[in-house]
Structure 1
Amino acid sequence: MRLLPASLAVLAITPVFVALPTVSFASTDTAHPVAPRVQSTAIHGVDAVAKGQLWTHRVVPGRAISTLTPVQERSRFTVAGVSWSRSTGLTNDDVIVQLRVREDSGWSAWETPGVTDEGPQSGTGESVTARLGTNPLVTDGATAIQVRVDTPNGQPLPDVRVTTINPGTSSADDDLTPKTPAASASAAAAMPTIITRKQWGADESLRGSTTYNTTVKAITIHHTASSNDYTEATAAAQIRGIYAYDTKGLGWSDIAYNFLVDKFGRIYEGRAGSITSAVRGAHAMGFNTNTMGVAALGNYQTAKPPAVMVDSLAKVAGWKLSQYGVDPSATTKLTSAGGTGTKYAAGVVATLQTLNAHQNTSYTLCPGQYLYPLMATIRSKATAYAKTSVPPPPTPVPTAKLFATYGTLTLATGSKGWAVRDLQLELNRRGYAAGTADGAFGTGTAGAVQRFQKAAVLTVTGKVAANDWRALSGLTYTKTGAPPPPPPVPTVPAPTPVVPALPIVGFNADGRGDVIGRTAAGDLYFYPAKVGGIGTPTRIGTGWNIYSQVVSPGDLSGDRLADIVAVTPDGWAYLYKGNGKGGVMGTRTLLSQTWQGYTDLLTPGDWTGDHKPDLLARKANGELWMIVGDGKSGFTGTWTRIGTNWQTLAQVITPGDVTGDGQADLLGRTLTGKLYLYRGTGIGTATATGYLPGVFVSTGWQTYNTVFSTADLTGDGKADLIGRTPANVDYVYAGTGKGAFAAPKKFTAPWGATTRITGVR
Structure 2
Amino acid sequence: MRGFLASSIGVTCAAALALPLTAPAAATTTTTTGAATAAARTAGAAAAGPAGAAASRSLAGSTRSLAGSTQSLALEPVAPASRDRVLGAVPEEGLYRGKVHRFSMVGVAWADPRRALDGRVQVRTRSVGTGAWTGWQDIETHNADHGADPGTAEAASGRRRGGTAPLWTGDSDGVQVRVRPGGSGRPAAPLPAGLRLELVDPGGEDAPPDDSATQEDAEEDTRIGVVDAEATAAEADADLAPLGAKAIPALDRTETERELYDLRGDELTEQQRAKPYIGPRPRIVTRRGWGADEGLREKGFVYTHQVKAAFVHHTVTGNKYTCAQAPSVIRGIYRYHVVSMGWRDIGYNFLVDKCGTIYEGRAGGVAEPVLGAHTLGFNTDSMGIAVIGTFTKSKPSTAAVEAVAKLTAWKLGLYGGNPSGKTYLKSGGGNLYRKGKNVRLNVISGHRDGFATECPGRLLYGKLGTARSTAAHYQGRR
| Equivalent position of 2:79 in the other structure | 48
Give me the whole-angstrom Cα distance separating, in 2, the residues matched to 1:242 and 1:305.
Answer: 19
Give me the whole-angstrom Cα distance separating, in 1, the residues matched to 2:109 and 2:66.
Answer: 24
| Equivalent position of 1:194 in the other structure | 284
Is the Cα–Cα contact under 8 Å of residues 221 and 358 in structure 1 kept in the other structure? yes
1:387 and 2:476 are equivalent in the alignment: yes
- Give CA deviations for 1:384-414 in whole Å, capped at 9, x if unaligned: 122379xxxxxxxxxxxxxxxxxxxxxxxxx
Give the deviation of 1:95 after TM superposition: 4.2
The AA in structure 2 aligned to 1:311 is E
1:15 and 2:50 are equivalent in the alignment: no
- Give CA deviations for 1:198-231 in whole Å, capped at 9, x if unaligned: 1111100111142210111110001111232322
Gap regions ≥5 residues in structure 2:
1-11, 32-64, 183-187, 212-246, 265-277
Give the deviation of 1:317 after TM superposition: 1.1
Is the Cα–Cα contact under 8 Å of residues 314 and 379 in structure 1 kept in the other structure? yes
- Residues 495-510 of structure 1 correspond to what in structure 2 (within 5 A)? none
Determine helix, strand or coil for the equivalent of 1:313.
Answer: helix
| Equivalent position of 1:120 in the other structure | 148
Give me the whole-angstrom Cα distance separating, in 1, the residues matched to 2:356 and 2:459.
Answer: 17
Give me the whole-angstrom Cα distance separating, in 2, the residues matched to 1:372 and 1:58.
Answer: 38
The AA in structure 2 aligned to 1:163 is E
1:256 and 2:347 are equivalent in the alignment: yes
Alignment CA distance shift 1:219-1:195 (3 Å): same
1:35 and 2:67 are equivalent in the alignment: yes
- Give CA deviations for 1:342-391 in whole Å, capped at 9, x if unaligned: 322323332211110011122222112221111111000111122379xx
- Give CA deviations for 1:714-759 in whole Å, capped at 9, x if unaligned: xxxxxxxxxxxxxxxxxxxxxxxxxxxxxxxxxxxxxxxxxxxxxx
1:106 and 2:120 are equivalent in the alignment: no
Give the deviation of 1:75 after TM superposition: 0.9
- Across the aligned residues of Structure 1 and Structure 2, the Cα RMSD in angstroms comes to 3.1
The AA in structure 2 aligned to 1:35 is A
Determine helix, strand or coil for the equivalent of 2:324.
Answer: coil
Give me the whole-angstrom Cα distance separating, in 1, the residues matched to 2:326 and 2:335.
Answer: 14
Is the Cα–Cα contact under 8 Å of residues 116 and 162 in structure 2 kept in the other structure? no
Alignment CA distance shift 1:176-1:144 (3 Å): farther
Give the deviation of 1:70 after TM superposition: 3.3
Determine helix, strand or coil for the equivalent of 1:139.
Answer: strand
Structure with the bigger percentage of helix: 2
- Give CA deviations for 1:93-140 in whole Å, capped at 9, x if unaligned: x34333222233213314232231201123222122221110001112
Aligned mate of 1:351, from 432, 435, 440: 440
Aligned mate of 2:248, from 173, 179, 193: 179
1:315 and 2:329 are equivalent in the alignment: no
Is the Cα–Cα contact under 8 Å of residues 119 and 179 in structure 2 kept in the other structure? yes
TM-score using structure 2 length: 0.68
Give me the whole-angstrom Cα distance separating, in 2, the residues matched to 1:215 and 1:43.
Answer: 43
Give me the whole-angstrom Cα distance separating, in 1, the residues matched to 2:373 and 2:435.
Answer: 17
The AA in structure 2 aligned to 1:14 is T
Give me the whole-angstrom Cα distance separating, in 1, the residues matched to 2:81 and 2:452.
Answer: 33
| Equivalent position of 2:102 in the other structure | 76
- Number of residue equivalences: 359
Give the deviation of 1:237 after TM superposition: 0.8
| Equivalent position of 2:165 in the other structure | 135
- Residues 209-358 of structure 1 correspond to what in structure 2 (within 5 A)? 209=299, 210-339=301-430, 342-358=431-447
Give the deviation of 1:156 after TM superposition: 4.5
Give the deviation of 1:87 after TM superposition: 5.9
Give the deviation of 1:155 after TM superposition: 2.5
The AA in structure 2 aligned to 1:37 is S
Aligned mate of 1:162, from 191, 197, 208: 197
Determine helix, strand or coil for the equivalent of 1:233.
Answer: helix
Give the deviation of 1:262 after TM superposition: 0.9
Determine helix, strand or coil for the equivalent of 1:70.
Answer: strand
- Residues 448-597 of structure 1 correspond to what in structure 2 (within 5 A)? none
Determine helix, strand or coil for the equivalent of 2:71.
Answer: strand
Give me the whole-angstrom Cα distance separating, in 2, the residues matched to 1:377 and 1:293.
Answer: 18
TM-score using structure 1 length: 0.44
Alignment CA distance shift 1:160-1:72 (3 Å): farther
Give me the whole-angstrom Cα distance separating, in 2, the residues matched to 1:347 and 1:144.
Answer: 47
Give me the whole-angstrom Cα distance separating, in 2, the residues matched to 1:292 and 1:170.
Answer: 29
The AA in structure 1 aligned to 2:456 is P
- Give CA deviations for 1:235-258 in whole Å, capped at 9, x if unaligned: 111111111111111111111110
Give me the whole-angstrom Cα distance separating, in 2, the residues matched to 1:376 and 1:96.
Answer: 32
Give me the whole-angstrom Cα distance separating, in 1, the residues matched to 2:81 and 2:379.
Answer: 41
1:378 and 2:467 are equivalent in the alignment: yes
| Equivalent position of 1:683 in the other structure | none
Instruction: Out of 96-105 and 116-125, give the one that drifted further.
Output: 96-105
Give me the whole-angstrom Cα distance separating, in 2, the residues matched to 1:233 and 1:5.
Answer: 32
Gap regions ≥5 residues in structure 1:
18-32, 390-761
Determine helix, strand or coil for the equivalent of 2:73.
Answer: strand
Is the Cα–Cα contact under 8 Å of residues 120 and 138 in structure 2 kept in the other structure? no
Structure with the bigger percentage of strand: 1
Is the Cα–Cα contact under 8 Å of residues 264 and 308 in structure 1 kept in the other structure? yes
| Equivalent position of 2:121 in the other structure | 97
- Give CA deviations for 1:681-730 in whole Å, capped at 9, x if unaligned: xxxxxxxxxxxxxxxxxxxxxxxxxxxxxxxxxxxxxxxxxxxxxxxxxx
Give me the whole-angstrom Cα distance separating, in 1, the residues matched to 2:13 and 2:332.
Answer: 31
| Equivalent position of 2:297 in the other structure | 207
Is the Cα–Cα contact under 8 Å of residues 69 and 201 in structure 2 kept in the other structure? yes
Alignment CA distance shift 1:114-1:359 (3 Å): same
Give the deviation of 1:157 after TM superposition: 1.9
Alignment CA distance shift 1:332-1:67 (3 Å): same
Give me the whole-angstrom Cα distance separating, in 1, the residues matched to 2:457 and 2:341.
Answer: 23
Is the Cα–Cα contact under 8 Å of residues 137 and 226 in structure 1 kept in the other structure? yes
Give the deviation of 1:145 after TM superposition: 1.9
Give me the whole-angstrom Cα distance separating, in 2, the residues matched to 1:264 and 1:372.
Answer: 18
The AA in structure 2 aligned to 1:197 is R
Which entry has the higher C-alpha Rg, 1 or 2? 1
The AA in structure 2 aligned to 1:79 is M
Give me the whole-angstrom Cα distance separating, in 2, the residues matched to 1:351 and 1:274.
Answer: 27
Identical-pair percentage: 36
Aligned mate of 1:364, from 453, 456, 465: 453
Give me the whole-angstrom Cα distance separating, in 2, the residues matched to 1:350 and 1:239.
Answer: 31
Give me the whole-angstrom Cα distance separating, in 1, the residues matched to 2:104 and 2:80.
Answer: 25
Is the Cα–Cα contact under 8 Å of residues 310 and 383 in structure 2 kept in the other structure? yes
Is the Cα–Cα contact under 8 Å of residues 100 and 111 in structure 1 kept in the other structure? no
Give me the whole-angstrom Cα distance separating, in 1, the residues matched to 2:289 and 2:422.
Answer: 35
The AA in structure 1 aligned to 2:308 is K
The AA in structure 1 aligned to 2:444 is L
